[in-house]
């Protein structure tokens, strides 16, 4: 069985280079938006896998990138 890794709100803020503050994470939890989390007592933890999936859902693909991937698929 694989062990799930969790990050604290402070570690999540570091993961996003401080662009997402601990306060923002707190607000998102209250509004039920943002990455998934688990609350055990007063501790709030974020599963790393959930953060990775949240990143993928929020990935923005630019038109130029799409053209390159279509060209790659076509064998050019």
Predicted TM-score of the model (pTM): 0.78
Checking DSSP bridges between strand 6-7 and strand 38-40, what pairing results, if any? unpaired
CATH class of the domain at 6-73: mainly alpha
d(CA 66, CA 25): 31
Per-residue pLDDT of the chain (76 residues; tens, 9 = 90+): 678 899 999 999 999 999 999 999 999 999 999 999 999 999 999 999 999 999 999 999 888 766 666 556 655 5
In the sheet with 43-47, reading across from the earlier edge strand, the strands are: 6-7, 43-47, 38-40
45's tokens: 């933890």
Between the two ends of the chain, the Cα-to-Cα distance in Å is 43
Indicate the domain borders of the chain: 6-73
């Amino acid at each position: 069985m694989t062990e799930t890794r969790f990050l604290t709100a402070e570690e999540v803020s570091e993961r996003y280079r401080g662009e997402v503050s601990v306060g923002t994470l707190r607000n998102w939890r209250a509004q039920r938006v943002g990455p998934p989390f688990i609350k055990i007592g007063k501790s709030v933890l974020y599963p790393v896998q959930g953060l990775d999936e949240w990143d993928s859902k929020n990935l923005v693909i630019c038109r130029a990138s799409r053209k390159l991937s279509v060209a790659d698929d076509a064998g050019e």
